[in-house]
């Protein structure tokens, strides 16, 4: 347990370092979110920069981003402008947490009445929720701030809209790769150096060799267009079973819009899952081979245990150990893969928001998406560590792997 908590602590420290790195590089890099085709007049620019605290020093900006910041009054500092976001005018609309999609003028001030996680946090820390109106609550209290390019939308709303779209395909593809890859690897190990072995390993290799940015278009072409056309000909023209117009699809494999049955999961899951499959097959094959060669399996065999029982009782746990260690780096593969499938299938998701935030230099949106993606990685790594301690008793006693 202590080991797991230490790992978790290390990951948290690394996240803070990574956030600081991203935060400082994006602010030190040339260019900014407000210089586009038509930069705003200098007074407004100054006000905008002040509103997002970009006129402060880097450390206080970062602290403000992490821990929040009350309203600052910089309207008097000799930089008059049309926008007075920093002083709180009486007519300002004070919005509660949630989506701010209604029309806002430049005079409106977005102030959170309470921070997104305050109720939740106060229950944990057992204190009264802070009722001061904060302009920024800080990431630690669940506020990612206002987007910099679309200045009336909170990043929290972007995340809430985008995250399900990413997880929707990431989780099934991971499960697909695990539940297909591990049995394939075990089969390959059990029939080592036979045709079965060769077939399993090379089937897994296909996904590794064809990168998912090529796999996506190829599968669309083969399954969603050619196979679909064949079924269209078979069911509609030849057998006359289904009534469809010429342009309608029979299988409807390409995910589009929000309406979509489970069939829409098929192609993205396949594209993401096959990228992981080869590695998982190889690792589980290696793990199972090592377990099969071990003395305790020989003992079990000589005891007369049936093969399936040996596989489940003695080979399964040590056999999937290498796969479990691979699950940590897998999170990075899934993330990059989900960027690719979001582009290929034009799906909405965090990945596309991440890319557009990076190219538009939307600092707050980029920080928000980065935080979420890193948390995804951390959670997966944490689960891996838990699994590992459960699978490998040596860690529990020694407190450290290797």
Residues that bind other proteins (CB under 8 A): 10-11, 14, 18, 21-22, 25-26, 29-31, 208-211, 213-214, 216-218, 220-221, 224-225, 328-329, 331-332, 335-336, 339-340, 343-344, 346, 354-355, 358-359, 361, 366, 370, 373-374, 377, 381
Minimal distance, residue 215 CB to other proteins, in Å: 9
For 283-333, give the DSSP string. Answer: HHHHHHHHHHTSHHHHHHHHHT--HHHHIIIIIHHHHTHHHHHHHHHHHHH
In the bound state with other proteins, the residue whose beta carbon lies nearer, of 94 and 379, is 379
Instruction: Quote the CA–CA distance of 222 and 372 in Å, as a whole number.
Output: 34
SS3 97: coil
Nearest to 67 by CA among 115, 27, 31, 102: 115
Tell me whether residue 18 or residue 236 sits nearer to other proteins (CB atom): 18
Distance CA 378, CA 114 (A): 27
Give least dist CB 26 to other proteins, A.
Answer: 6
Nearer to other proteins, 9 or 89 (CB): 9
Enter the tokens of residue 311.
């596989």
Strand (E) or helix (H) holding 236: none
For residues 120 and 104, the answer to whether their CB atoms sit within 8 Å is no
Of the pair 25, 259, the CB lying nearest other proteins is at 25
CB of 275 to other proteins, least distance (A): 10
The smaller minimum CB distance to other proteins, of residues 263 and 309, is found at: 263
Cα 309 from chain centre? 38
Least Å from the CB of residue 330 to other proteins: 9
Backbone angles phi, psi at 146, to 5 degrees: -85, 145
Min. distance of Cβ 89 from other proteins in angstroms? 35
Toward other proteins, which CB reaches closer, 316 or 358? 358
The distance of closest approach from Cβ of residue 175 to other proteins in the complex, given in angstroms and rounded to an integer, is 20
């Amino acid at each position: 347990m202590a080991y797991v908590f230490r790992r978790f602590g290390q990951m948290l420290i690394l996240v803070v370092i990574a956030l600081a790195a991203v935060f400082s590089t994006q602010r030190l890099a040339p260019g900014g979110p407000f210089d586009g085709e038509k930069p705003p007049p200098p007074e407004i620019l100054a006000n905008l920069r002040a509103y997002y605290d970009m006129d402060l020093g880097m450390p206080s900006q970062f602290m403000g981003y992490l821990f929040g910041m009350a309203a600052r009054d910089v309207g008097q500092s000799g930089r008059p402008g049309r926008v007075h976001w920093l002083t709180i005018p009486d007519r300002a609309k004070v919005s509660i947490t949630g989506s701010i999609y209604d029309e806002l003028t430049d005079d409106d001030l977005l102030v959170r009445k309470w921070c997104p996680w305050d109720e939740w946090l106060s229950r944990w820390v057992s204190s009264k929720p802070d009722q001061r109106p904060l302009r920024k609550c800080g990431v630690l209290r669940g506020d990612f701030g206002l987007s910099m390019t679309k200045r009336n939308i909170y990043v929290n709303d972007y995340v809430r809209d985008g995250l399900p779209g990413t997880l929707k395909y990431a989780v099934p593809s991971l499960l697909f790769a695990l539940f297909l890859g591990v049995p394939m690897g075990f089969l390959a190990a059990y029939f080592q150096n036979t045709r079965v072995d060769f077939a399993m390993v090379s089937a897994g290799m296909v996904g590794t060799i064809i990168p998912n940015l090529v796999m996506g278009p190829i599968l669309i072409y083969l399954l969603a267009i050619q196979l679909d056309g064949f079924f269209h000909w078979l069911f509609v023209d030849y057998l006359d079973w289904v009534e469809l117009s010429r342009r309608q699809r029979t299988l409807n494999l390409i995910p589009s819009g929000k309406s979509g049955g489970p069939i829409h999961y098929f192609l993205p899951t396949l594209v993401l899952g096959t990228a992981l499959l080869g590695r998982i097959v190889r690792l589980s094959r290696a793990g199972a081979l090592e377990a099969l060669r071990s003395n305790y399996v020989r003992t079990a065999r000589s005891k007369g245990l049936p093969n399936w029982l040996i596989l489940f009782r003695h080979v399964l746990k040590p056999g999937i150990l290498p796969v479990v260690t691979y699950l940590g780096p897998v999170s990075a593969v899934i993330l990059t893969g989900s960027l690719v499938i979001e582009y290929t299938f034009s799906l909405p998701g965090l990945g596309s928001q991440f890319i557009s935030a990076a190219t538009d230099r939307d600092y707050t949106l980029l920080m928000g998406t980065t935080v979420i993606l890193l948390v995804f990685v951390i959670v997966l790594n944490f689960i891996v560590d838990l699994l590992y301690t459960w699978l490998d008793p040596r860690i529990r006693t020694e407190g450290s792997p290797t």
